[in-house]
Structure 1
Amino acid sequence: MPPSSSGAGHNGFEKADLHIHTKCSDGIHTPEEIVDKAASAGLSAISITDHDSVAGIDKAKPSASAKGIELIPGVEMSSTYKGYDIHVLGYFFDHRHPALTGYLDHCRHLRTERAERMVGKLAKMGVKIGLDQIILKAQNGSVGRPHIAAVLQDGGYVKSFSEAFSKYLGAHSPAYVKSIETHPAEVIRLINEAGGLSFLAHPAQSAPDEILKQLITVGLDGIEIVHPSHDSYKQNYYREIANEYFMLFSGGSDYHGLKDRDDDTFGRVTIPGDWVEKMKSRLVKA
């Protein structure tokens, strides 16, 4: 069972989910549908953190405003460091900041090129799928491995999302191609220049301790403490590191809406409202 966190915010028992994906990257729901789900789940605040895309923010704004849900500008940005795929979550930034949007447009092209290379590797293994099918799956969003997995499933090459990753697309699988090879320090700088806060996403999945410590030295603001891959031991472990370095806490469901991956995480893997308030107070000091 995935972990959850709850606690009293400044306005009662508020809960937030600051890690959600939509059709603008590799989720299955539209931004508007995510807002509806958040309202049904009783969330007070959410952040749509699509991969290398901020396209979902403006789409979600009207419905979030109508339903009284705080929509925090968010993004999950790809980077690579010492052979590790490092994902950095950004919050509370200006999502129209020219340097940030220019970089994200560049990432969109890199993601398509990466998918093309993976299609080439699959073809050499006798797995014939087309890049056009993957782009169609992405519906003009950021192309990612889940879109390739969906096409593999449609073609009958695999039975599930998890099989697609274990057999072909995972980091140690034969069709894998490295993610965007930007240094995380550059990603952190872009988020900072746009007025936002940067957090290391799901460290237990992607970053050994020595990598995490090095990222702290280049200006990381916080750590994603609550995540479906973090049990209570890992939550406490990363909370202690964050406290040691006076860092902020974040967390969320990392929800994509994929049945064999997400289960029922939405509305259950949450953070208390006061974590969000502490982020805001750090912004005031910046």
Structure 2
Amino acid sequence: MPYSLSGVRHNGFEKADLHIHTKCSDGIFTPEQIIEKAAAVGLKAISITDHDSVLGIDKAKPLALTKGVELIPGVEMSSTFKGYDIHVLGYFFDYQQSELKQYLDHCRHLRTERAERMVGKLAKMGVKIGIEQIILKAQNGSVGRPHIAAVLQDGGYVKSFSEAFSKYLGAHSPAYVKSIETHPRDVIRLINEASGLSFLAHPAHNVPDETLKQLITFGLDGIEIVHPSHDLYKQNYYREIANEYFLLFSGGSDFHGMKERDDDAFGNITIPYEWVTKMKSRLVKT
């Protein structure tokens, strides 16, 4: 079956989107609004994968049952390896498992501390914003750089989200502070011990091939194949690597709801539901 940037042809195949963010981390929409949108575009299954947070799952679950949208427990967990920010997507895990919950609570504190350090760096550059404003933007969710970018826009320091990142917040910009520095091996272990599956998120972002091969040795179950940053060549490239190591496929829109980033992604960048079925088969075997 041919694939494109949109993931799968829109001619009757059942579709899923396993990479969506809500207000519980750095998305614009509530978990309930995401379910409404998923039902409206005919998605069979979705996963809310907020950054280091599972708070959106219980919020979305009742409406998902009503709307007939399959809600797969998900999370996007931060880690650092050899100087690279490595994001690991977890699916089908027990999100009430105590060790995982304790770790994610810890991450929430680390994210707030990171934001405070970035605010300090910005202040030295003459950019005066408060951590309280950022926490308010996060609405008690998982604090991230997009919340800082939004406050910078509100204060007139930048005109757009992309300018905030290129000028201040991007990985090579002056106010940048490293993300959570947990080793990816430990993140993968946490997901797997909670009976879940672990996938490397958007490898084309900043994961060199040599690093990708090392990450696979840590016990990854799969690779995110379909992502807005993956053109057809990259999709096929990562599919070949996944096949070589007998790994599963995942993918999605990485939807945040920000118009300048991904307004057209929702419902268009999808994966075939059969990939979800293969994930479930792996769960049964383990």
What TM-score range do you get, normalising by the shorter chain?
A: over 0.9
Q: For 1:252 and 1:265, locate their aligned partners in 2 and report how far apart those are by CA, in whole Å.
A: 9
Q: What's the counterpart of residue 251 of structure 1?
A: 251
Q: For 1:259 and 1:67, locate their aligned partners in 2 and report how far apart those are by CA, in whole Å.
A: 26
Q: What's the counterpart of residue 49 of structure 1?
A: 49
Q: For 1:134 and 1:68, locate their aligned partners in 2 and report how far apart those are by CA, in whole Å.
A: 35
Q: CA deviation at 1:201?
A: 0.3
CA contact (8 A) 1:76 1:88 kept: yes
Q: For 1:210 and 1:188, locate their aligned partners in 2 and report how far apart those are by CA, in whole Å.
A: 18
Q: For 2:263 and 2:180, locate their aligned partners in 1 and report how far apart those are by CA, in whole Å.
A: 28
Q: What's the counterpart of residue 192 of structure 1?
A: 192
Classify the secondary structure of the residue corresponding to 1:101.
helix
Q: What's the counterpart of residue 15 of structure 2?
A: 15
- Asked if 1:276 is matched to 2:280, the reply is no
Q: What's the counterpart of residue 238 of structure 2?
A: 238
Letter in 2 for 1:58: D
Classify the secondary structure of the residue corresponding to 1:112.
helix
Q: For 1:263 and 1:50, locate their aligned partners in 2 and report how far apart those are by CA, in whole Å.
A: 18
Q: What's the counterpart of residue 223 of structure 2?
A: 223
CA contact (8 A) 1:7 1:14 kept: no
Letter in 2 for 1:171: A
1:63-104 CA-partner distances (Å, limit 9, x unpaired):
000011100000000000000000000000001000000000
Matches within 5 A, 1:133-212: 133-212=133-212
Q: What's the counterpart of residue 5 of structure 1?
A: 7
Q: CA deviation at 1:39?
A: 0.5
Q: For 2:201 and 2:9, locate their aligned partners in 1 and report how far apart those are by CA, in whole Å.
A: 21
Q: For 1:221 and 1:262, locate their aligned partners in 2 and report how far apart those are by CA, in whole Å.
A: 27
Q: Which runs of 4+ in 1 moved over 3 A?
A: none
Q: What's the counterpart of residue 73 of structure 1?
A: 73
Q: For 2:210 and 2:183, locate their aligned partners in 1 and report how far apart those are by CA, in whole Å.
A: 16
Classify the secondary structure of the residue corresponding to 1:199.
strand
Letter in 2 for 1:268: N
Q: CA deviation at 1:266?
A: 0.2
Q: What is the Cα-based RMSD across aligned positions, in Å? A: 1.2
Q: What's the counterpart of residue 27 of structure 1?
A: 27
Letter in 1 for 2:256: H
Q: For 1:195 and 1:201, locate their aligned partners in 2 and report how far apart those are by CA, in whole Å.
A: 19
Q: For 2:264 and 2:13, locate their aligned partners in 1 and report how far apart those are by CA, in whole Å.
A: 21
CA contact (8 A) 1:24 1:55 kept: yes
Classify the secondary structure of the residue corresponding to 1:203.
coil
Q: CA deviation at 1:206?
A: 2.4
Q: CA deviation at 1:6?
A: 1.5
1:140-189 CA-partner distances (Å, limit 9, x unpaired):
00000000000000000000000000000000000000000000000000
Q: What's the counterpart of residue 102 of structure 2?
A: 102
1:41-73 CA-partner distances (Å, limit 9, x unpaired):
110000000000000000000000001110000
CA contact (8 A) 1:45 1:71 kept: yes
1:99-132 CA-partner distances (Å, limit 9, x unpaired):
0000000000000000000000000000000000
Q: What's the counterpart of residue 86 of structure 2?
A: 86
Letter in 2 for 1:167: K
Percent identity between matched residues is 83
Letter in 2 for 1:4: S
Classify the secondary structure of the residue corresponding to 2:53.
coil
Letter in 2 for 1:5: G
Q: For 2:101 and 2:211, locate their aligned partners in 1 and report how far apart those are by CA, in whole Å.
A: 27
- What is the count of residue pairs matched by the alignment? 283
Letter in 1 for 2:271: I
Q: What's the counterpart of residue 111 of structure 1?
A: 111
Letter in 1 for 2:95: H
Q: For 2:217 and 2:28, locate their aligned partners in 1 and report how far apart those are by CA, in whole Å.
A: 36
User: Structure 1 residues 7, 192: closer, same or farther in 2, change over 3 A?
Assistant: farther
